[in-house]
Structure 1
């Protein structure tokens, strides 16, 4: 495995930001790191990238110890921080050439041209970074992170500021990069994490509260069930509550409702009985699976 973390703890003074967490990440995998603000995501990534020392615990990146081999790790690591630190006075291509020189890359222009093409910066390469939109500055940040073809890529909010078309392009790029890399990806946009990542790890209060493959993330986590029901005629939310016990109702319009309930019993028969009693008809009724958002709310609420 490319990244191995054992019993990692980090204090800021008396405050414990990371609380004895352990996890691993493998080559060819995109690990999504989620959590509410202050959960410890950015602190974890700063420790992995050797920008901050841990208080205790062991962290290994491609066999290198973060406390002993920080220079070795930085050579094989690409990092896009949340607040993308760029030199605004430099031109895009000039800046990427500067980064290539820092990494002591042979044939710098070849590497610069490659990442400009990969990140869609061809039309912006001769502009000052300060003149770029936020989305294009994010692309420059991603370009500098991958210019030296790192084995490990840490991306903290990489899709912030991108428009829908840019999202599609960057999503495709990140997926293509995972073939021979380990990628840790953090974002507040849950739908993008769900579409990009192979595995999800959720932090809350400095602890790992969920770690699972994306296809298994909702299993054994969300206790509530959901039914989406559309009636032929208008029906009030009050009528539904009077007939159905212990449910949560989200009204989409006067005929369409999302009904959530706890327990194993299927309430669809009760909804059907209600429709008959109200001399109404059901146009559509189907169970609705739990989403990553449901899981996120559930596990961060528990802690």
Structure 2
């Protein structure tokens, strides 16, 4: 006989509850970052990290990092396994103290105002721990009570996040019967349940098959502009299209941050340039070889690409070719893809 799943513990007996939340829009108790009027038209900084450090005895897990996330942004926090991503997120969500430095979330200090920070955020950990015998909707009801959502609003919020996470067909499914992809969806629905201003998502696509990853990433992409999101991953190609900006961490240190286009523009291809002439390309190839370079034909056959020792060598090369009487019509430094930049920065 199919009965109800076992009753979850009563949250009223789990300690004092936070003040009920009745609004169906993101919580608005957050403070600004102190930048009056958001000078230059920039939105306020919802996450502000300054010289944050975390040490485990002799291991420096997070090494003097500084970053920020503006309102409505999705920040991709990228790095290889063990780089310090999860440690940083645990500090920002109040689960782990920093050794030194300061972090503020929604205007509140994560060390001295931890409870206020937790009221502002939703958190999806790397491994979602769910009670095996509860049903999806029962679990979200229970989590709503723990989050202090008023009884009159709880059912509405549950149904909203079930819809947002694509869980409506699974609402009566027992949690232990769900695939890993649907378990991640339940974790995301839980993170959204309290209408948080800020979401921290730690490796949300870990262990998912390609179709499940795409579904979860679509859910996250839909949050851009509505929530401030910090999303950690070690697979850049999965989240490149989701993030407004990226911060790359290696061995506990931030090695690059900015929008994808900014990183690509600033990184270039380490002195690689594409050159074309008005007319046949053979004289160009000969002139480049005379200068000790190794010209490589471009894929379209229109010219050559060459690798310079330094980016700064480009103007001198161009001047030399023109002075040699070559009609250069195209001389362009080449850019690297964000994936190439990520690999170059994080490869040991």
Task: State the TM-score, normalizing by the size of structure 1.
Answer: 0.78
Provide TM-score, normalisation by structure 2.
Answer: 0.68
Q: What SS class does the counterpart of residue 156 from structure 2 fall into?
A: helix
Q: Structure 1's 294 and 128: CA in aligned 2 closer, same or farther, altered over 3 A? A: same
Shift of 1:246: 8.5
In the alignment, what sits opposite 1:112?
Answer: 158
1:153 aligns with 2:153: no
1:240 alignment counterpart:
none
Structure 1 residue aligned with 2:128:
84
- 19, 24, 30: which one pairs with 2:74? 30
Length, aligned pairs only: 263
Unaligned runs of 5+ in 2: 1-44, 275-291, 297-304, 315-332
Superposed, which structure 2 residues align to 1:1-303 within 5 Å? 1-106=45-150, 107-221=153-267, 222-223=269-270, 225=272, 261=307, 263=309, 289-301=335-347
Separation in structure 2 between the aligned mates of residue 50 and residue 246 of structure 1, nearest angstrom: 55
Deviation at 1:187? Answer: 1.7
Asked whether the equivalents of residues 138 and 160 of structure 1 are also in contact (C-alpha less than 8 Å), the reply is no
Q: Structure 1: any 5+ residue segments left out of the alignment?
A: 228-244, 250-258, 266-286
CA–CA distance in 2 between the matches of 1:224 and 1:135?
43
Q: Deviations over 1:67-94 (max 9, x none)?
A: 1111111111000011111112211111
RMSD: 3.0
* 1:170 Cα deviation after fit: 3.0
Bigger fraction of residues in strand: 1
The CA distance in 2 between the partners of 1:56 and 1:199, in whole Å, is 25
Q: Is the 8 A contact 1:199 1:212 kept in 2?
A: yes
Equivalent residue, structure 2, for 1:234: none
Shift of the alpha carbon at 1:296? 1.0
